[in-house]
């Protein structure tokens, strides 16, 4: 055996191992960012799974635990699951707002102002005022990381201005000019616009655009999430305010789930433990095969001796063997075989006297081994 050469071989192996590791790491990086087949699944899961988002900086957010759900009879919900909607106090607005995160409100709503009955079941937030229910928008799971903020938006709620609003009607009439009759209502807009087009081209263009804009204008809710790490504060929604038209509503949600986390390991891909194991076995294989090659060709060893660092491993093996023998022989007193002797003895001299004898025996054994 030439001690320096195997050592050089070993250091070479370590370098090789590092290289394979780096190569593997870079390949796994590729798969998570750019390569087409596996990454398409990863990116789609992060954008399509509702209430889950990954920011460009790699922070991962999963707000699904904050969704309030309707409790079902047979299904056992995870602990801490919310079954009631979030209530945001409106303070000076005179009404409180009920909403859910990433899902329709648990407490279903009906007769929502300006929505057809198909839309009722997907209302993400609403408030009641004067006996009427106003929607703040249809629920959405499109969680959007925006810098350090995490934002969710509901759109398509009740029309921003109630149809029977006198002021707005007057304003519109004034802007439309005098050629229209007093009996104005929203549903005849299109007809009237057609009439306008016949009468006056430029004027009508202006009006179609303005009236269609007014038609589309619906209430929306923008919810901003803040990370709150204190574990015993429940997720809370606070109402921030609206724009002057009470068309856009702003909320702030404090939740521990809004804190940036690491993306959980996806099934099917190799986790950190797997990567380590792969590197370990590659290194081991290279060490054994390379070592055998070296010992056979350079040192011309045969038999067991052609294994790399044979004396070292043989030494370790004999050491382990010795340790095992020592341990088993000192544990042998706990084996049931000796119970008869022990119980017979303990009746007369007790446990502790017995131990002394055994310790002396073991010491004697150890001395024999040292020789």
Binding site for ligand NAG (CB under 6 A): 89, 95-96
Q: What is the 3-state secondary structure (H, E, C) of 199-257?
A: HCHHHHHHHHHHHHHHHHCECEEEEEEEECCCCCCCCEEEEEEECCCCCEEEEEEEEHH
As measured in angstroms, the least distance from the Cβ of 270 to ligand NAG is 50
Identity of the residue, 89 or 149, whose beta carbon is nearer to ligand NAG in the bound complex: 89
As measured in angstroms, the least distance from the Cβ of 84 to ligand NAG is 13
Identity of the residue, 63 or 105, whose beta carbon is nearer to ligand NAG in the bound complex: 105
Identity of the residue, 83 or 96, whose beta carbon is nearer to ligand NAG in the bound complex: 96
As measured in angstroms, the least distance from the Cβ of 109 to ligand NAG is 15
Identity of the residue, 89 or 186, whose beta carbon is nearer to ligand NAG in the bound complex: 89
**Cβ-closest residue to ligand NAG?**
96
| Unique residue bearing structure tokens 């209530």 | 87
As measured in angstroms, the least distance from the Cβ of 176 to ligand NAG is 37
Identity of the residue, 129 or 333, whose beta carbon is nearer to ligand NAG in the bound complex: 129
Identity of the residue, 61 or 86, whose beta carbon is nearer to ligand NAG in the bound complex: 86
Identity of the residue, 95 or 250, whose beta carbon is nearer to ligand NAG in the bound complex: 95
d(Cα 62, Cα 39) in Å, to the nearest integer? 19
Residues 174/150, Cβ–Cβ less than 8 Å: no
Identity of the residue, 98 or 138, whose beta carbon is nearer to ligand NAG in the bound complex: 98
As measured in angstroms, the least distance from the Cβ of 206 to ligand NAG is 40
As measured in angstroms, the least distance from the Cβ of 126 to ligand NAG is 13
As measured in angstroms, the least distance from the Cβ of 153 to ligand NAG is 24
As measured in angstroms, the least distance from the Cβ of 257 to ligand NAG is 23
As measured in angstroms, the least distance from the Cβ of 86 to ligand NAG is 11
Identity of the residue, 99 or 279, whose beta carbon is nearer to ligand NAG in the bound complex: 99
Neighbours of 163 (CB within 10 A): 12
Q: Which tokens belong to 70?
A: 């309707």
Identity of the residue, 91 or 280, whose beta carbon is nearer to ligand NAG in the bound complex: 91
Q: What is the 3-state secondary structure (H, E, C) of the chain?
A: CCCHHHHHHHHHHHHHHHHHHHHHHHHHHHHHHCCHHHHHHHHHHHHHCCCEEECCCCCEEECHHHCCCCCCCCCCCCCCCCCCCEEECCHHHCCCEEECCCCCCCCCCCCECCCCHHHHCCEEEEEEECCEEEEEEECCCCCEEECCEEEEEEECCCECCCCCCHHHHHHHHHHHCCCCCCCCCHHHHHHHHHHHHHHCHHHHHHHHHHHHHHHHCECEEEEEEEECCCCCCCCEEEEEEECCCCCEEEEEEEEHHHCCECCCCCCCCCCHHHHHHHHHHHHHHHHHHHHHHHHHHCCCCCHHHHCCCHHHHHHHHHHHHHHHHHHHHHHHHHCHHHHHHHHHHHHHHCHHHHHHHHHHHHHHHHHHHHC
As measured in angstroms, the least distance from the Cβ of 87 to ligand NAG is 6
């Amino acid at each position: 055996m030439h001690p320096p050469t195997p050592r050089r071989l070993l250091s070479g192996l370590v370098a090789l191992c590092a290289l394979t590791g780096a190569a593997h790491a870079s390949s796994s990086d590729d798969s998570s960012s750019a390569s087409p087949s596996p990454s398409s699944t990863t990116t789609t899961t992060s954008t399509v799974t509702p209430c889950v988002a990954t920011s460009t900086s790699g922070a991962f957010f999963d707000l699904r635990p904050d969704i309030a759900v309707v409790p079902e009879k047979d299904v056992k919900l995870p602990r801490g699951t919310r079954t009631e909607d979030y209530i945001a106090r409106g303070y000076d607005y005179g009404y409180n707002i009920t909403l859910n995160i990433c899902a329709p409100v648990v407490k279903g709503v009906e007769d929502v102002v300006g929505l057809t009955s198909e839309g009722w079941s997907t209302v993400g937030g609403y408030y009641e005022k004067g006996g009427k229910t106003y929607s703040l928008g249809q629920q959405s799971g499109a969680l959007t990381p925006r810098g350090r903020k995490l934002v969710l938006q509901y759109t398509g709620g009740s029309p921003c201005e109630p149809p029977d609003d006198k002021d707005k009607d007057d304003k519109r009439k004034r802007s439309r000019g005098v050629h229209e009759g007093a009996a104005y209502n929203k549903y005849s807009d299109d007809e009237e616009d057609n009439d306008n087009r016949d009468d006056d081209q430029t004027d009508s263009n202006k009006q179609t655009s303005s009236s269609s804009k007014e038609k589309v204008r619906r209430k929306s809710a923008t919810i901003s999430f803040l990370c709150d790490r204190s574990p015993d504060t429940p997720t809370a929604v606070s109402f921030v305010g609206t724009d002057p038209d009470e068309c856009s509503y702003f909320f702030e949600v404090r939740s521990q789930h809004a804190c940036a986390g690491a993306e959980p390991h996806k099934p099917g891909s190799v986790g950190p433990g797997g990567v380590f194991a792969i590197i370990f076995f590659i290194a081991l294989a290279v060490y054994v095969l390379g070592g055998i090659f070296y010992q056979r060709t350079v040192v011309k060893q045969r038999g067991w001796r052609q294994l790399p660092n044979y004396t070292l491993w043989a030494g370790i093996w004999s050491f382990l063997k010795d340790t095992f023998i020592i341990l088993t022989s000192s544990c042998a007193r706990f084996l049931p075989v000796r119970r008869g002797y022990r119980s017979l003895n303990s009746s007369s001299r007790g446990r502790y006297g017995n131990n002394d004898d055994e310790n002396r025996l073991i010491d004697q054994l150890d001395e024999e081994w040292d020789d």
